Structure formats: C-alpha cells, structure tokens
Amino acid sequence: MSLSVQLIFKSAVAERLGVSERTIEKLVAARKFPPPLKLGKNAVWAHDVVERWLGQALAPQQAWEAPKRGRPSVLRNA
C-alpha cells in the first residue's frame, strides 16, 4: 500500500494559521489542535489534517448570514 502524505513543519503551520509557533504548541497542549508527528527534533503535521482543522474552525464563520434588513431586535426596546 502506497501512502502519499505531504508533511509540513511547525513553522509552516504557524505561518499558514497566522500565529506563532508557541501558539501552535499551546493549542496542542490544550487539545485544541491535532498533535504533531515527531521526527527527531521536528514536529510535523499532514497538510490535509491542518486544512481540515482550519475548515472546521472556520465553519461557524462560513455559516454566518447577515441579518435581515431592518433594525436589530435588541435595539427596538432601548
């Protein structure tokens, strides 16, 4: 069985997500981001795992819909 996986280093993951490498470490420690595969001193992730995580993290934002026209109900009683 042949498995073709693109691995990316922690620095590339941090750059892709727009955060620091330390933030990636904190997210992993808090179990909010998938754990890395350790290759010697290097931490790597499968590219598709990072993209899937990002897609799940963005799902609420992508599902958001603009409110209907008119004044928001919160302000009507003010």
pLDDT values of the chain reduced to their tens digit, one per residue, 78 residues: 678 899 999 999 999 999 999 999 999 999 999 999 999 999 999 999 999 999 999 999 989 998 888 766 665 555
- What is the reported pLDDT for 70? 72
In a domain, 30, yes or no: yes
Residue 40 domain-assigned (yes or no): yes
Does a structural domain hold residue 69? no
Write out the residue range of the structural domain in which residue 31 sits: 7-61
SS3 57: helix
Does residue 1 belong to any structural domain of this protein? no
Any domain includes 55: yes
According to the model, what pLDDT value does residue 24 have? 98
Show the tokens assigned to 33: 């981001």
Q: How many domains does the chain have?
A: 1
From start to end of the chain, where are the E strands? 7-9, 37-39, 42-46
52 belongs to a structural domain: yes
Phi, psi (rounded to 5 degrees) for 27: -65, -40
Q: What is the pTM of this model?
A: 0.76
